[in-house]
């Protein structure tokens, strides 16, 4: 796609307006979102993403007479959205570990997503630039996605330890931390000195965790398309609705226990596709696409759909913490319990 600076400016400006309205107008006061509210916001964000997808579709058809750009955006969006759902479990563990009430989680997630928008831009720019300078980087990205897919298939979600986060340890060592469990502000003054609050520590953990997520997700979309605008915009639209999706699904996240197998297969498929296209182009004189974008979309959608089917038939495991699990505030309920209690 032919993208000029004003296209980027319009896109980023539109995102900035949406974020401003979200925080200042619609979520000005901290509260525990109801299921209905979370559902409506999820529909709103996904609807906006699909409207943008329709625009990309029309744009690509108008310029090149092809629906390829729209298909690639949709594929990237589906992959990113699915990765986001799997990552929600990690956010739930982080909030539970720090004892964050559900009414304050939206604010922390908002600023976390704002940081993610910036970090994803850096990752996308770096990844696309590397490929343009050194095409063999595709092999590295492809091999990394294959490795990540295999690792994800055999890893356990329970292996999440917020207390071992390097950024958290650094902040605890070098920052003055307020002892009060304050989550509605990130900094407070005590005796004339500025102190970081536990809410700021949670934000740091969420931000640093998202950086790790980006290491997987950005190469995955680059494996679908090398167009930086499509890669970045599909990433951003996927994470914009992350907060609403979190509050909608937090009580049933344990039911998605087979999703990571689907994601493992998708990441491995994209990695194999990247390696195959590079090898085919450089060693077998295959200059066309190895797999048609429509076929890629069908494969990705089919794999994820199959991995989500058990969600509707299998009863999830309990979300209760284990007796030895670190929980600074012992009265803090599990994510599912907190949602049910605060929505009553």
- Tell me the CA distances in angstroms from 244 to 231, 248, 275, one per residue in order: 22, 6, 36
Within a domain: residue 295? Answer: yes
| Cβ atoms of 11 and 3 closer than 8 Å | no
- CB-based contacts of 234: which residues, under 8 Å, 6+ apart? 73, 76, 77, 80, 221
Tokens of 12: 């980023």
Whether residue 168 is contained in a domain is answered as: yes
DSSP 8-state secondary structure symbol assigned to residue 320:
P
Asked if 162 and 94 touch (Cβ cutoff 8 Å), the reply is yes
Q: Which domain holds residue 282?
A: 31-342
Number of other residues whose CB lies within 10 A of the CB of residue 55: 12
Concatenating the DSSP letter of every residue in 187-198 gives: EEEETTEEEE-H
Q: What is the DSSP string of 68-108?
A: HHHHHHHHHHHHHHHHHHHHHHHHHHHHHHHT--HHHHHHH
Residue 310: helix, strand or coil by DSSP? Answer: helix
The answer to the question of residue 9 being in a domain is no
Q: Is residue 209 part of a domain?
A: yes
Please state, in angstroms and rounded to a whole number, the distance separating the CA atoms of residues 6 and 1.
Answer: 14
Number of neighbouring beta carbons within 10 Å of residue 316: 15
Helix (H) / strand (E) containing 19? helix 5-20
Residue-level pLDDT at 329 = 38
How many domains in the chain?
Answer: 1
For residues 262 and 307, the answer to whether their CB atoms sit within 8 Å is yes
Indicate whether 106 belongs to any domain. Answer: yes
Consecutive H or E run containing 184? none
8 A C-beta contact, residue 96 and residue 334: yes
Intervals of the chain under pLDDT 50:
318-334
The residues facing 188 across adjacent strands are 195
- How crowded is residue 226: how many other Cβ atoms within 10 Å of its Cβ? 16
Instruction: Read off the pLDDT of residues 2-11 as tens digits, 9 standing for 90 and up.
Output: 788 899 999 9
CA–CA distance, 203 with 207 (Å, rounded to integer): 6
Whether 160 maps to a domain, the answer reads yes
pTM (predicted TM-score): 0.84
Q: Which of 229, 241, 239, 244 is nearest to 11 (CA)?
A: 229
- Between the two ends of the chain, the Cα-to-Cα distance in Å is 49
- Is residue 1 domain-resident? no
Look at residue 142 in the predicted model and tell me its pLDDT.
Answer: 93
């Amino acid at each position: 796609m032919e993208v000029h600076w004003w296209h980027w400016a319009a896109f980023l400006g539109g995102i900035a307006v949406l974020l401003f309205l979200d925080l200042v107008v619609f979520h000005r006061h901290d509260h525990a979102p109801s299921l209905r509210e979370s559902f409506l916001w999820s529909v709103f964000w996904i609807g906006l993403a699909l409207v943008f997808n329709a625009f990309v579709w029309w744009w690509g058809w108008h310029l090149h007479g092809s629906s390829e750009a729209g298909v690639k955006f949709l594929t990237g969006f589906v992959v990113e959205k699915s990765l986001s759902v799997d990552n929600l479990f990690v956010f739930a563990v982080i909030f539970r570990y720090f004892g964050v009430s559900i009414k304050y989680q939206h604010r922390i997630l908002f600023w976390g997503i704002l940081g993610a928008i910036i970090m994803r831009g850096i990752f996308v720019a770096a990844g696309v630039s590397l490929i343009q300078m050194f095409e063999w980087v595709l092999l590295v990205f492809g091999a990394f996605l294959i490795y990540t897919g295999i690792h994800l298939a055999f890893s356990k979600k329970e292996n999440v330890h917020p207390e071992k986060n390097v950024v958290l340890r650094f902040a605890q060592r070098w920052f003055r931390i307020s002892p009060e469990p304050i989550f509605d502000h990130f900094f407070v003054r005590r005796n004339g000195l500025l102190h970081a609050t536990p809410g700021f520590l949670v934000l740091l953990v969420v931000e640093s965790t998202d950086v790790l997520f980006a290491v997987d997700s950005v190469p995955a979309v680059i494996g679908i398309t090398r167009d930086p605008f499509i890669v970045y915009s599909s990433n951003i639209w996927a994470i914009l609705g992350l907060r609403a999706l979190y509050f909608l699904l937090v009580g049933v996240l344990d039911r998605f226990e087979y999703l990571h197998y689907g994601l493992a297969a998708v990441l491995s498929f994209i990695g194999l596709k990247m390696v195959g296209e590079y090898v085919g182009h450089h060693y077998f004189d295959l200059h066309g696409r190895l797999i048609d974008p429509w076929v890629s979309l069908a494969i990705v959608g089919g794999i994820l759909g199959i991995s989500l089917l058990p969600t509707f038939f299998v009863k999830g495991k309990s979300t209760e913490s284990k007796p030895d699990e670190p929980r600074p505030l012992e009265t803090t309920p599990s994510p599912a319990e907190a949602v049910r209690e605060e929505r009553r």
